[in-house]
Every structure is written in C-alpha cells, then in structure tokens.
A and B are shown apart, each in its own frame.
Chain A
Amino acid sequence: MRSFVALVRKQVLESRWTLLISFAALFGLGWLYVFVTSLNEAEIFKALSSEEGDRRFRWMQSMGVMERPSTASIIAAFWNSPLIEVMVIIWAIGRGSGAVGAEVERGTLDLILSRPVSRSTYLASQVLVAVVGLAVLAVGLPLGAIIGSQYNFLREPPTFLTLLRPAVNLAALGLPIFGYTLLVSALDHVRWRATTIGSVVTLAMFIARVVSVIPVLQKYRWRDWLDRITIFKLYNPVDAVGAGAELGYNLAVLSGTAAVFIALAFVGFARRDLPASG
C-alpha cells in the first residue's frame, strides 16, 4: 500500500502544474460562459420588453413553436465548445502517453520496477491519477459557473448538482481517450508514438463528429457511419443538464470503452519486455 501511495504521490507531483493550469482554465471558462449567458438573457429580456418583441413572442408562443430554454441549458450549450474538450483531451493524452512510454524512454522505469512493485500496481497508480485528474478538471467547470453566477444575473441560476451532470459527461469523454493512449504507451518504449497515435485518433473522431452534424450531409448514408465511430457524439451537455435521457447510455459506453482499453493495457504491460533504455 505504501508503494502505491508513493507512486500516486510522485505522479501527482509530476502532473500538478498541468492539472492546476487546466483546472484554472476550465474554472475560468465556466465563469465566462455564465457571464455570456447573463448578457444573452439580458438581451433577450430587453428584446421581449419592446412592443414588437413582445408581440412576436406571444405569436410564437401561440403557435407552440417556442419554449424558452432554461438558463442551465444555455450554459451547457456553451460547454459544447472545443475549448473545453481540448482541456480534457490534453490531460487524457498526456497522462496516457506518459504512463509507460515516457518512463521507459527516460530510463526511470527500471528504478521503479526493480523494486518490489508489480506492473499492475504501477499501472493502477497511473490510472488512478489520470481518472481523478479528469474528475478534478471537470469539476472546475461547474465550480466556475456557480461562483460566476454569484456575480452575474441569471434568470434561473442553476444548482451545482445540475451542472455536475454535464461535467461528469465531460470527464467520461476523457476516459476512452486516456484508455487508448495508455494502451499504446503500455506497449511502446517512446512517448511520442503514443502521443501521436492518441492525438490522431482523437482528431479523426472529432472531425467525424463535425462532419456528421453538417446539415447538408444528412442525406448521405456514410454520415450515420461517421456518427457511430466518434466518441464525441456521447458528450451531450445540453441533454445531461436537462432530461438526461442519453446521459446514462453515454456514460456507460464511454466508461465501458475506456475499461476495455485499460484492461488491454494491463495485459499488454504485464507480458511485455522492458529492455534497457537507450
């Protein structure tokens, strides 16, 4: 147990600045989107207050085509921003590629694994730090939003728990990315390859998601196929903050996919050779 704690402590020490900066960025973004939502709501209110706006709103309401979205939904819609996803992706790829490949590359894995530490204990400590890190990062977003809402007027200020649901979805998005990068790292002896493969796969899935939602491409059959191969489809903060109809499924698929890759990484790492560095 002491060795596991020592490994966790070392990894936290090594990744603390990345974690802190990413957390601060997400906290800031959470706050920023509350500020933007507050401005939006003020604009809408102003428009509705005018005679023309009021007439238009009443007409639309009578036609049943407009339901005012909740403040939480508007905030969550901003959370679809690639800026937010990038923070999680950087952490996931960084921790995954650094887990084994980087230690082999710099020759420090010998120091650890020549001690009575099992390979599974070593990898478990890496997984723990990465997963807890994802959770910490994701919490930064609702925390920023809640604190931001204390300083900005919102029509219906959301609760922390309401915003925590899309945050959990965001953390879960990072899990499979960490998983497949970890698998490559666990089998390799350099960091760059795991980083490259992890980045390319993630970027490809991101592009697939972007292409799949372009309206003019809806009629093509391959669009469905693109939609199925991307994990980004499973990150839906607006749904998570609202009815949450997809949240359970999204979390299950993201976590399940990550579990498969992480399990494969454990098997591969336990069976591989660890040649001398250099």
Chain B
Amino acid sequence: MVDGNLTDSTALIRTDGLTKSYGKFLALRQLSLEVQQGEIFGLLGPNGSGKTTTIRLLLGLLRPTAGRAWVVGFDCWTQSLQVRRLVSFLPGELRMYGYMSGMEFLRFLCDLREGDGLDRAVAIAERIMKLNLRRKIRMYSTGMKQKLALALAFSDPVDILILDEPTSALDPSARGEVLRLVREARAEGQTVIFSGHVLSEVEAVSDRVAILRKGKLMHVEDMHQRRSLRMLLLRFAGEPPARFPEELELSVRERRGEAWLLEHRGELGSLLRWLTTIAVEDLAIGTEDLHSLYEKFHGPDVVDEEDLD
C-alpha cells in the first residue's frame, strides 16, 4: 500500500491491483487505493499517466485486465449499472449533440437518470453558469459546453462526482465557481474525484491527492497534513544543535553548507519558543505547495525504473 493511502474497508471507492493493458502497453499498473465518503480525491499526472483510464475503469466503460474496482461495494465491471446510478461523470473531452438546444440536452441526459435533477441542472446552468438554454449547442463555445456539462454533473442526485479536468476550458471566474461547487458538493456529503492538470486547483480543493506516472500510482498525499507543513530555511549562529527536540516534529529535508532546510509538522507555538532558545543567524518560514511534490515524480530529473533496465 502506498504511503498516505487508507486501508479502511468502509471506503466508498476501492481498487485492488487494478491493471489495464492494450497489448503490450500498460495503461494502468496495479493501482490500489481507497477513497472515503465525503472526500475530495485529486488525481494528478500528465497526459498518459492513467487518470482517465482509472476513471473509465471505475465507470465500467473499460474491462480491467487484472485486479478489481468497487464503488459502494459494487464491482465496477460486473455491476457497472448499479455503480453508474451512484456516480455522475464529467468527461474530459466533451462531445455533445450540436442539434440539441441546451435545454433539450439537459432533459435528455436527465431522462437517462429517470428525470432526476432536471430542475437543479436548469437552475445551475441559467443562474450560476449564465447559459442561454434555448440556443443550439452547436452555437456554444467550448467553455459554454463545459459549463453545461458541469451544470448537469452538479445537479445529479448521486453520491459520487467524477470530474475529469472540469476547468480546462473555463475562464478564471468560472473556474472559481466550479471550485466553490466542488466544495459545496463535499459539504453536502458527496464524494468527489477531481482529475486535473492545474496543480493549484487540485491543491485548493482536495483532501488527498494521488500522483500517477505512466499508469503507476507514485504517491498519495494527505493535503490536510501538507497544509500544516512549514518549511524552515535557517542558518545557525555557531554550532547547530546535535538533535532537535522530538515534540517539535522537525526533520531535515536538505542541508547545503551552513543552510538547513527543515520540515515542521508540529505546533507553531512550541517551535517559536524553541527558536528563541537557540542561536540563529538567519531564518525564513514558509509553506510548500504541491508543485514541489509533483516535481519529485514528474520533474526533468526523474528516471523510470524500466528506463534503467
């Protein structure tokens, strides 16, 4: 099990050794993870990292080559219909029926869910997304189409939202609106899988983030822990202390000459008190965004195991 991952059997979504290959090409390798109810779970990775494959496996659109996936206990392949009753999906690549008006499109897709959620979809589309639903979809811009699909996704009366790059075609204000709707969904008890490229957005809303690379799960980061992480860049005046007090939860990330880069996850007050007891020549305290973690797995220096063979 990858660090940061949960092993709670009550997880809403669970995958176990989930693998998908196309001939010799492995699109997803042995993915094992769990997503809890009410959680916003971010999926991060560049194109081809396996995010969309994972989502399609969860929706039962793809058949696993090996391993299994469950949503609320339903097998994603053999019980895919039950799974899709509980899930609303926003595809990354939006293709719509251009001959339909916005209203006809919403009505058609709500009818596929036995008519549920139409009023809410219309309200979100008209009031929040400011769409003219009488216009034909072929007259919509890419961003407007994405807004229409988002209105539908957020209106579905489901337990789980799967959003594949939900903000890719949106302007900054609409992006903010989407993030607000995602948080609102969580507040209402929905579980959200948020797949994206924009690190700041994933970071802003996610409770946990999975980083994928070439179909492999590299790391799962608990964002609550990460948000409490402080980075200390300091130079000691004279000899540095031989060891740090354990209760401070300080660890050395890096040392370059006299400069020390420390990670702090503990309480701020005790750290500040400790700092007054030691001789410090220079000090900077900051936080660390997701980018540096992402770079650890996708930076230019990263070499794949298979490349070494």
A252 within 8 A of B: no
**Which of the residues B95, B108, B115 comes within 8 Å of A277, measured between beta carbons?**
B95
A60 within 8 A of B: no
CB distance from B257 to the nearest CB of A (A): 50
CB of B91 within 8 A of CB of A116, answer: no
CB distance from A110 to the nearest CB of B (A): 5
CB of A116 within 8 A of CB of B81, answer: yes
CB of B112 within 8 A of CB of A7, answer: yes
CB of B97 within 8 A of CB of A3, answer: no
Nearest B residue (CB) for A110? B91
Among A27-35, A49-57, A183-191, A267-275, the stretch that binds chain B is A267-275
A36 within 8 A of B: no
CB of B112 within 8 A of CB of A116, answer: yes
CB of B61 within 8 A of CB of A2, answer: no
CB of B91 within 8 A of CB of A111, answer: yes
* Residues of B contacting A111 in the complex (Cβ-Cβ under 8 angstroms): 91, 95-96, 109
CB distance from B212 to the nearest CB of A (A): 16
B35 within 8 A of A: no
| Alpha-carbon gap, A14 to B301, bound state (A) | 52
CB of A114 within 8 A of CB of B93, answer: no
Rank and list the top 7 A-B pairs by shortest CB-CB distance, nearest first: A107-B95, A6-B111, A115-B112, A114-B89, A116-B85, A274-B61, A3-B112
A118 within 8 A of B: yes
Knowing that A2-B111, A14-B99, A272-B63 are A-B contacts, what are 13 other residue pairs whose CB atoms are under 8 Å apart, sorted by A's residue number?
A3-B111, A3-B113, A10-B97, A106-B95, A108-B95, A108-B97, A110-B95, A114-B59, A117-B84, A273-B62, A274-B61, A274-B62, A275-B61
CB of B91 within 8 A of CB of A2, answer: no
Contact string against A for B residues 82-112, beta-carbon threshold 8 Å, 1 for contact and 0 otherwise: 0011011101111111010000000011011
B binding-site residues for A, Cβ under 8 Å: 52, 56, 59, 61-63, 81, 84-85, 87-89, 91-97, 99, 108-109, 111-115
**Which of the residues B56, B62, B81, B88 comes within 8 Å of A118, measured between beta carbons?**
B81
* Residues of A contacting B95 in the complex (Cβ-Cβ under 8 angstroms): 106-108, 110-111, 277
**Which of the residues A7, A116, A277 comes within 8 Å of B113, measured between beta carbons?**
A116
CB of A3 within 8 A of CB of B93, answer: no
CB of B84 within 8 A of CB of A275, answer: no
A276 within 8 A of B: yes
Nearest A residue (CB) for B152? A111
* Residues of B contacting A2 in the complex (Cβ-Cβ under 8 angstroms): 111, 114-115
CB distance from A270 to the nearest CB of B (A): 10
CB distance from B29 to the nearest CB of A (A): 17
| Alpha-carbon gap, A112 to B59, bound state (A) | 12
CB of B109 within 8 A of CB of A273, answer: no
CB of B56 within 8 A of CB of A276, answer: yes
A248 within 8 A of B: no
Nearest A residue (CB) for B52? A276
Nearest B residue (CB) for A273? B62
